Structure formats: C-alpha cells, structure tokens
Amino acid sequence: MSSLEKKLRDALQLQKEIFGDDLFVLKEEKIFESEIKTTEKIGKNLNDSLFDEPFQKAESLEELDSLINTCTKCELSRTRTKFVFGIGNPHARAMLIGEAPGADEDKQGEPFVGKAGKLLNDILKAIDLTRDDVFIANILKCRPPGNRDPLPSEMETCMPYLYKQIELINPKIILCLGRIAANGLLNKKLSLSALRGNIYEFNGIKVVVTYHPAALLRNPGWKKGCWEDVKKFKKLYDELN
C-alpha cells in the first residue's frame, strides 16, 4: 500500500468514526445488539503456566506491588524513573486499562496524570464515577522511551502482572483505553474502529473499548464517539452490579 493510499484510508476511517450513522445518538435498544466477542482465557492460562513465580501467589494488590515493583525482566527497567503499578479501589467493580506510562506518570508513579489524567477524570465524572470507584492500570508498568508504542516482547513480559491484577480485583467490567490496550488484553490485532462498538469478554468479564484520553486531546472531534462508548460502558456497569 502506497503512502497516499494509506493516508486516504486513514482519512476515510477517521470520517467514519466521527460521522458514522449512530455516532451522535445512542439508541438504548442497540446496546445489547452489538455482537459479544469472546477472547480465549489467555490470562488464566498464562498465569497457570507461571504459577511457580512468587508474584502469582500474592493475595492482595499491596502484596503484588511489593513483589513486582523492582522488576528487571525487560530493558524498560533501565530507563524508568518509577514503576507504575496502578491505582484505585482494590475491590472495584470496574477496571480501566491503558497502554503504558507517559512522562508525567513515570515521574509520579501513578497512571493517567497530567492533561490526559484530567480528561479521564472528567470522563468518569460525566458518568457519575470517580477514581475511587475504579482501578486504573496499564498494559506496561514502565514508560517506553519517548512514549513509543510498546514492543511485543515488552507486552509479553509485563502482561502476567496485569492478569494477576485482574484476578485479584475480579471486576465485573473493563474499559480498555486505546487500540494497544484492547489488542493486548484481548489478544487481537485490530484497528480501533474495528474494536469499538462491540462488547467483548475476557475470562468472563465484559470488556468495552474506547479512545485513549491522550488521543482525544490530539483529536477533539473524537470526543463524541468516546461519549457514546462510555455511556455504553456505564449502562453495562449499572446492569452488571
């Protein structure tokens, strides 16, 4: 595919995401008409295969954090400032999963701070939730240099930590923030436009996909699509609890 063809494809894809037929008005009866996509229980299976590792025996998030926050299994441990474990309610009924820490997160050791974090707080507030109601984590616990995309090897190394977090929290629903987070959790290789609008399952947990807040800051026109996604997420959250 030529550069021009790729740009044209991306432009058309963006127009569809912003101006799609059902983008601005969410019809309640359509929420559960979305095809429910089920992913294999890769997290459980991987955890089982690695059960001899000490962190797999953790019985709380606090214990898990203490066991993994000095991890040196990949090169990111050499460049990080702080290990970003995650934050929120350890008994949350909803988890939010992002891609990886950025510069602000690396400095503070907390996910989704700075402008992206403020926007995420506003999104949660709009659906009557706060950070205290959810648990927020990332696929990677350490910042990739220059905020580049995580490498497949880095994700493979770090994902067992996320699986263990999910196991300990046992949420009813997960909201994936961005393409990389969704593909990583669901073991897929799809565009964000293909991922959005469906309801997935991960080890029996409902999963909804929307934009990453940082992407919304760069592309404000996507906020309307995000609003439709999070309304669907909140409706499921209310009905599953």
Instruction: Say if 93 falls within a structural domain.
Output: yes
Instruction: Say if 129 falls within a structural domain.
Output: yes
Using CA atoms, how far apart are residues 16 and 134, in angstroms rounded to an integer?
A: 31
Q: Is this structure's pTM higher than 0.85?
A: no
What pLDDT score does 28 carry?
40
Instruction: Say if 4 falls within a structural domain.
Output: no
Asked whether 107 and 69 are in contact (CB, 8 A), the reply is no
Instruction: Say if 26 falls within a structural domain.
Output: no
Q: For residue 97, give both structure tokens.
A: 């999963």
Structural domain span for residue 138: 32-240
What pLDDT score does 2 carry?
59
What pLDDT score does 9 carry?
61
Instruction: Say if 44 falls within a structural domain.
Output: yes
Low-confidence ranges of the chain (pLDDT < 70): 1-51, 241
Instruction: Say if 18 falls within a structural domain.
Output: no
Instruction: Say if 11 falls within a structural domain.
Output: no
**Total tally of structural domains belonging to the chain:** 1
The DSSP secondary-structure symbol of 54 reads: G
pLDDT digits (tens, 9 = 90+) for 201-221: 999 999 999 999 999 999 999
Instruction: Say if 15 falls within a structural domain.
Output: no
Cα-Cα-Cα-Cα torsion 67, 117, 36, 47, nearest 10 degrees, comes to -10
What pLDDT score does 236 carry?
97
User: Exposure string (b/e) for 2-35, b if CB count within 10 Å is 16 or more?
Assistant: eeeeeeeeeeeeeeebeeeeeeeeeeeeeeeeee
Which CATH number goes with the domain that contains 76?
3.40.470.10
